[in-house]
Every structure is written in C-alpha cells, then in structure tokens.
Structure 1
Amino acid sequence: MTKARPLFSAFGIEIEYMIVDRETLAVKPVADALLAMAAGQEGACDAVMGPITWSNELVAHVLEMKVTDPAVSLKGLAADFARSVATADRLLTPLGARLLPTGAHPLMDPFTETVLWPHEHGELYRAFDAVFNCKGHGWANLQSMHVNLPFDGDDEFGRLHAAIRVLLPIMPALAASTPILDGKATGFLDARMDRYAHNADRVPSVMGMVVPEAVFSTDEYQTRVLDPLYRDIAPLDPAGVLHGDFLNARGAIPRFERSTIEIRVLDTQECPAADLALAGVVVAALKGLVEERWSTYAEQKAWGTRELADILGKTIQNAGRTKVSEDYARLFGVYAPSQIPARVIWRRLGLSALPTMDFDPDWEKSLAVLVDQSSLARRILAAVDGDYRPATIKRVYGQLADCLLRNEPFNVGILGAPYYL
C-alpha cells in the first residue's frame, strides 16, 4: 500500500481516447502497436512518456493517458496532456490512425468491431467478458476522465466520500459528451453513462445504483459493499480472477491500496484543456463541500442513495437543464424558491469555489465555453443540427479530433441557441 496523502494534497488524472482511422474515423484496434512503438517492446501495456504515462484498456482501440506520478496541482497538467496527445498523433500517423475525443464513438458497432486487449492482463479482460459480455456500448465504447483524490484515515475518507456522493449526481450536467450512438440521437446527453449504468446488470452488486452507498468508514465499506460484491461474483468466477477494488463499478470507488477515491462519471471532453478545466471545477466544489462551506458534513451524509441516484438519472438524460429541488441546491449554497437547473448550481460553484484553486490560464477558454455556453453533448447536437447521415457525423467528429490536437474548445457559436443549456 502506498503512503496515504492528506485531502487535496495530490491529484491523479486519467483520460481515455479512442484510436480511429485517420481518414474514415472508424475504430482502429492498434493500441498494442502504438504502445510497442512508445515503449520499444512488443506486447507492452505501459509506456512512460515523461510526466504522462500511456496504458492499454479493456479494448484494443482505446489508449489511456495518466499522470506518471500524483500531481501536487492540477495547474500545468493540460499542457502536459496536450504534448502527450501530439506525440501520440506523430506515432499514429504511420499507422493511418489518430486519436478521437469524447466519451463514445458515434458510429461504432461494438458487437462486431470490439477487439479485446490480447496481451498482459488479457486473462482479467477475458474473465470480465465471460461474465458480462463486453461486446456492447457499456463496455467497449466508452471513454472517460477519472479523477483520483487522496484521503488519509477514516475521517478524511468519510468526508471525501460524503462530498463526492452529493456532487456526483450533477457531474454529467457539465461532463456529458455522448449524445449519439449507432449514428443517431439516443435521447440522452450522456449516453455513455446510461449504458455504463447497466453493464453489470447480471451481478447488480457490482454497480449498485452508480451513486455510492451512504458509507463513511473503511471497515463499513468492506462489510457493506465489497464483501457482498465478492460473494456474488464468486460462482461466476471460479478462478477468482475478479477480486479487488477494480471490480467495484460504482460512479466513484475507493482504491484502498493507494488510499484514494476514483471518480468515474466524467465523459472525456474535446481536448485536455477542457478535461482539466472540468476537473478543476469538480475538485474546487468538492473542496468547498469537505470544508463545509455551504452545508455540514451531517447534512451531506443524510442524503439517501436512491434520491441521489434519481437526480443522476435525470442529469444523464438532460445534462444542465435537469431541475433539482431547493433542498438539494442548498447543499451548495444555492437558495431558490423552487426547482433550479443544475447548470445554475455549477455557475454558482464556479464563481464561489474556483477562486480557491491554483488556477491554470490554460483552462480559461474551455471553462468559458463549458460553463457559459453548454456541455459538449449539446454543442455536438448543435453542430449536427438534426442531420445524422454518417458523412455529417464524421465531419463533426473530425472537427472534434482537430480540437484535441490543437487543445482548443469546440465552440459552435451563438450563446442562447436552442441546443444550449
């Protein structure tokens, strides 16, 4: 176990990208070839590229980029990830491939195009596939940014877990980037999370209600969450491969071996600056909650999992337009006589919490578009403008791939357009 770090003293960021054909944007399962080139070793599953490390994922068309060591500040990470993206683009060019952002491929058929990672950890992925059938959008076509936050001891775990639980339901209001699957609008702004929420239905204790249970000590978490999960999976996993923190698929999971909580509900955005700006807002809001700036620890703990999961379900569908109760809004110091859109809460949090952060100027443009204009999902819908022909979708997602390489936000125009917030 690594040495525990105090709350908000370090940050772990992981961002997943699709590898696609440079011309057609079809998924291209060449992550193993890319990692072999980067690491100088066939079959490599990791390549340390300075401050950013590349890793494989479950499927062979996804590349994960993560900080090599926990960062003491989020400031500067957008530039590190942008340089890493540029390096990946250079290595992918001879393979006829490039990286594509957002949380899901809009045209992929996961039932025919999925290729599981065939090298190290392959046994683990085959075990997941045997139990859950990983050839579906909820497994094979989803990319996210994970934010890992440390805790030192039970009290810090409880306070961080409480804060994450109450904020998690409205995270998709900002993070949603997946309105299109199978070449058509899904009716969900965050279709990735909609599919993800059902990928472990065969063993419900693996996912729970996505929002974590109201558990605020490590021993209680082991007893109420992990022990039942391991017991339920055992008959389907006779080799005992699926045993560890990684099996827990809730929207935020404790990684006890490194004393962190990993947030998993944030769709990948269009560029590193946007991803890190999103991380900055989320971390600033969590810090304010832990410090009891707007509500007490007791008030945060009192919220039930079902009522929080109901909010999350609505936000997955409607993103920033989701209306929440005045009781929920008061957790964040927002007072209103009736229900209030989630986007208003985030604007208030941005104004009140972000000034406490070590602010990165690289976030400025993306933050303005994200908070003032719309989630990326609505901007994608605005750009497609009702035309779901493959050529139109490829044109729009080609622009998103260009945004990734330039590290610039996807800005589709006029504030207040019907698709926006």
Structure 2
Amino acid sequence: MPTLEPVTPLLKLRAFAGYGIELEYMIVDHRTLAVRPLADRLLIGPDGAVVNEVDHGELAWSNELVQHVLELKTNGPAESLVGLGARFHRDLVEINGKLAALGAGLLPTAMHPLFDPARETHLWPYGQNEIYEAYDRIFGCRGHGWSNLQSMHINLPFYDEEEFRRLHAAIRIVLPLIPALAAASPLEQGRRSAWLDNRLRYYRDNQKAIPEISGLVVPEPVTGIEDYHRQILEPMYAAIRPHDPNEVLSDEWLNSRGAIARFERQTIEIRVIDLQECPAADLAIAEAVVELVRALYKERLAGFAAQQALSTEALAEQMWRCGEQGSQAEIGSEALLALFGCDRPLTAAELWRKLLEDGLAVSPTAAGMLERIIVRGSLAEAIVRRLGSVPSEEEIRLCYRELGLCLAENRLFLS
C-alpha cells in the first residue's frame, strides 16, 4: 500500500548515501492476540486530532490501510543501517508501553496467524482515506494480502539516470533471493500455508484482475527512466483508468512490483521483505540485501549487461521457489548462479553463506545475526518446526506470544 505522507525525500543523494527503512506491525490484544484497531490512539497531532503521521525524532509513526497496523519509518534518510535496529527497538518499547494501558501490544511477523479478514478488518477512516476506499472498491481489501500483511520496505536513493538504471538492474537480481532469508508468514487463519512466505503469494495474486499493476513482481529490465515510464507506469495507468475514472490511484505508488521507483523522492523501494521477530533481525537482513545490491551495482559480481540479460520470468520463478521453500529452495538457474560465481546448483542458504564468506560487506553485528538465521533457517521455518503441520489455536497463541517477547527483547526466535 502507498505511504500517503512520505518521509522527508531522499532527494539528490548518491546511490547508497542514505537509507529509508519502514517496518509494519499488527496491534493485538495482549491476552487473546485478536487484532485491536488502535493505531488512531497512537497517531495524535499537536491539536489533538488523529493524523496519518507523527514525527518522533529520527523516526516517524504512521498509519496503513487498516486501523490495526502501525508503521514505523526513518524520518528522512538514515546515513547508515548500523545501529538502526536499536533505534527502532526503542520506539517499539515506547509504543508497547502506551498500548499496554489499553490491554494491547505489537505483534511481529508478516501475517497474523489467526486473523479472519472478512470479519475483523477495520479500514483506516481518517485523512486521505479516499485512496483506501478506491482500493477497497476495486479489489476488495477485506482479505489476506490487504488487511493482513506486515513487511519491511527499503528505500535506496539514485542521483541521476545512470544511477537509476544500474540500481534497478541490481535490485532485480537480488529480489528472488530475499524470501530465503526473510520468509515469516507460514500460517493463515490457524492453518499451515503451502508457502513459507505466504504474504508474498498474496502480494503476487491480490491484484491479478489488473495484471499490469504487479506484473510478475520482479520488475522488467529497463534502459532508463523514460523506458520505465513506457514499459511499467503508462500501461498500468491505462489499465486502472476504467476502474478509477477520477484517477485517485493514478500515481507511481500504485505499482505493486517487488521494487518500485519513487521518483518524487528519487528512490527505488524494495517491498518484498517479510517483517521479522525483532528489529535486530530486520536490519541484519536489510544490510544483507543492500550490500548484495551494492556489489551488483558496482559490478563486482557481474556486469550490467549480464544482469539485464536475466529474464524476468526466470527470476520470478526463482522468487516463487524461495517463497514456497525458504532457505532450502534450490537455486537452479545456471545464468543466475553464474552471476554469483557458482558452477553447480546450491540451496538458497548455501548461496547466502557463500556470499557472506566471499566478503559481502555487512557489519560484524549483522554478520553474526545472519549466520544464526542461515543455520536456523528463515523465521517461517523455525515457526513450522515449533508448531508442526497441524497446530492447535492455543499452540499458535503460545508461539506468537513468544514472538511478541522476541520483539520486546530484540532477540532472535529459536525453534
């Protein structure tokens, strides 16, 4: 969904000179874990009125499509990802303190495991809600993938045409590998999903009525900004127009590919990363993603032409495999493996380990966290090992209460 009041733009920054991070959390009852539509109690402006966003120093808090989700984001560009997890955690502790007085708290992971969207959805009724109303009218937002999804977004700046096309090419290659590290949505309404990254499956499918909006999620290769408008934005605007005659949705944020250009703030926004159990894990994964994008951008692993040559269909197929199987998904594409200097098929976990061992430039703290994630498997895999294939509702509640403790203590969940 679009961020209606974007943070201070990352304008005219060179590539990798700043970072925008967004984290989304479900608000739930402290005892039952049922969703609580309380975001408006946290988003109060100076005059006492409900607003879409409040400034909180280095971070900002904002609304999303529904009243039971709260987003935290960098309030303008962060100079570094290092230490940012602790900054997010401080605000999360404060928010949990405010919600505790209401018998509620924040729940991590990318999908609520018991939520019934047809019965429990509370759409955001305040400022600029005409956009949400248009989405609801066209697509029906009382479903998983609309009112039940929490993700991390990463915004990476570009300075000019050349930086844009190189950044876009690099991000295309990295997207399919992300679910292997980040899958965190294995349950749907109390049942084990067929995918470990079930949020990604809904992200892929929930706007299929107008396929130009999301394409194959992995964006098409483009030669520059004009080509991006011609290939991606203009067909999308034409496709939505019969459903949106007042052009409420005719903006670049309508694009639902896994990475989208945000030209008004000169960034590319990566949108396919499941929310983890704690900010320390989120920001470690963010470092891994950003540093792999940087290595490709600087052509340390493969040249621009080789990156552009990988077909969107092949990259999308790899993404679906990682979304379904997590860290144990096979990387079977010879062309993709060749970009990373591999001459045999590997699991996604083996590939991420190789990249880290080959010198992916993450911080020591992130490297330690990523090693633990690779050994454990994605959070979804850890949850499934804990719960088995047919868990009871009470077993699910116990597990997700522990995940809530992981958020409160900023620590990894172990199965």
Assess same fold via TM > 0.5.
yes
Residue in 1 that maps onto 2:4? none
CA offsets per residue over residues 67-87 of structure 1, 9 Å max, x none?
Answer: 012011101101100001001
Verify the 8 A CA contact 1:334 1:348 in the aligned structure 2.
no
CA distance in 2 between partners of 1:350 and 1:64 (Å):
30
Match of 1:349 among 355, 361, 374: 355
1:401 and 2:404 are equivalent in the alignment: yes
1:195 and 2:202 are equivalent in the alignment: yes
State TM-score, norm by structure 2.
Answer: 0.95
CA distance in 2 between partners of 1:341 and 1:287 (Å):
22
Residue in 1 that maps onto 2:370? 367
How well do the aligned residues superpose, as a CA RMSD in angstroms?
1.4
Verify the 8 A CA contact 1:162 1:214 in the aligned structure 2.
yes
Residue in 1 that maps onto 2:265? 258
Verify the 8 A CA contact 2:66 2:147 in the aligned structure 1.
yes
The DSSP-based 3-state class of the residue aligned with 1:258 is coil
Structure 2 segments unaligned to the other structure (5+ residues): 1-8
Residue in 2 that maps onto 1:35? 43
Matches of residues 84-95 of structure 1 in structure 2 within 5 Å?
A: 84-95=91-102
CA distance in 2 between partners of 1:208 and 1:39 (Å):
41
Residue in 2 that maps onto 1:340? 346
CA distance in 2 between partners of 1:377 and 1:257 (Å):
35
Match of 1:181 among 163, 188, 202: 188
Residue in 2 that maps onto 1:390? 393
CA distance in 1 between partners of 2:390 and 2:136 (Å):
35
How far has the Cα of 1:366 moved from its partner? 3.1
How far has the Cα of 1:389 moved from its partner? 0.7
Percent sequence identity is 44
Verify the 8 A CA contact 1:161 1:216 in the aligned structure 2.
no
CA distance in 2 between partners of 1:188 and 1:297 (Å):
32
1:323 and 2:326 are equivalent in the alignment: no
Give the AA of the match of 1:231: A
1:241 and 2:244 are equivalent in the alignment: no
Match of 1:376 among 375, 379, 395: 379
CA distance in 2 between partners of 1:19 and 1:366 (Å):
26
Residue in 2 that maps onto 1:57? 64
Residue in 2 that maps onto 1:171? 178
Residue in 1 that maps onto 2:294? 287
CA distance in 2 between partners of 1:379 and 1:388 (Å):
14
The DSSP-based 3-state class of the residue aligned with 1:32 is helix
Verify the 8 A CA contact 2:11 2:157 in the aligned structure 1.
no
Matches of residues 111-190 of structure 1 in structure 2 within 5 Å?
A: 111-190=118-197
Match of 1:17 among 1, 13, 25: 25
How far has the Cα of 1:223 moved from its partner? 1.0
Verify the 8 A CA contact 2:278 2:412 in the aligned structure 1.
yes
CA offsets per residue over residues 295-345 of structure 1, 9 Å max, x none?
Answer: 111100001111111111111111111112233112122332xx2211111
CA distance in 1 between partners of 2:395 and 2:47 (Å):
38
How far has the Cα of 1:57 moved from its partner? 0.2
Give the AA of the match of 1:21: D
How far has the Cα of 1:201 moved from its partner? 1.1
How far has the Cα of 1:229 moved from its partner? 0.6
How far has the Cα of 1:274 moved from its partner? 0.3
Moved segments of 4+, more than 6 Å: none
Residue in 1 that maps onto 2:226? 219
State TM-score, norm by structure 1.
Answer: 0.94
Residue in 2 that maps onto 1:418? none
How far has the Cα of 1:212 moved from its partner? 0.2
How far has the Cα of 1:2 moved from its partner? 6.0
Give the AA of the match of 2:376: Q
CA distance in 2 between partners of 1:177 and 1:100 (Å):
12
Pick closer, same or farther for the CA change 1:345–1:364 going to 2, 3 Å: closer
The DSSP-based 3-state class of the residue aligned with 2:173 is helix
Residue in 1 that maps onto 2:5? none
The DSSP-based 3-state class of the residue aligned with 2:264 is helix
CA offsets per residue over residues 329-375 of structure 1, 9 Å max, x none?
Answer: 12122332xx2211111111222343x34x263x3653232122210
How far has the Cα of 1:109 moved from its partner? 0.5
1:228 and 2:226 are equivalent in the alignment: no
How far has the Cα of 1:409 moved from its partner? 0.5
Verify the 8 A CA contact 2:99 2:105 in the aligned structure 1.
yes
1:7 and 2:10 are equivalent in the alignment: no
Pick closer, same or farther for the CA change 1:146–1:161 going to 2, 3 Å: same
The DSSP-based 3-state class of the residue aligned with 2:216 is coil
CA distance in 2 between partners of 1:285 and 1:320 (Å):
17
1:70 and 2:83 are equivalent in the alignment: no
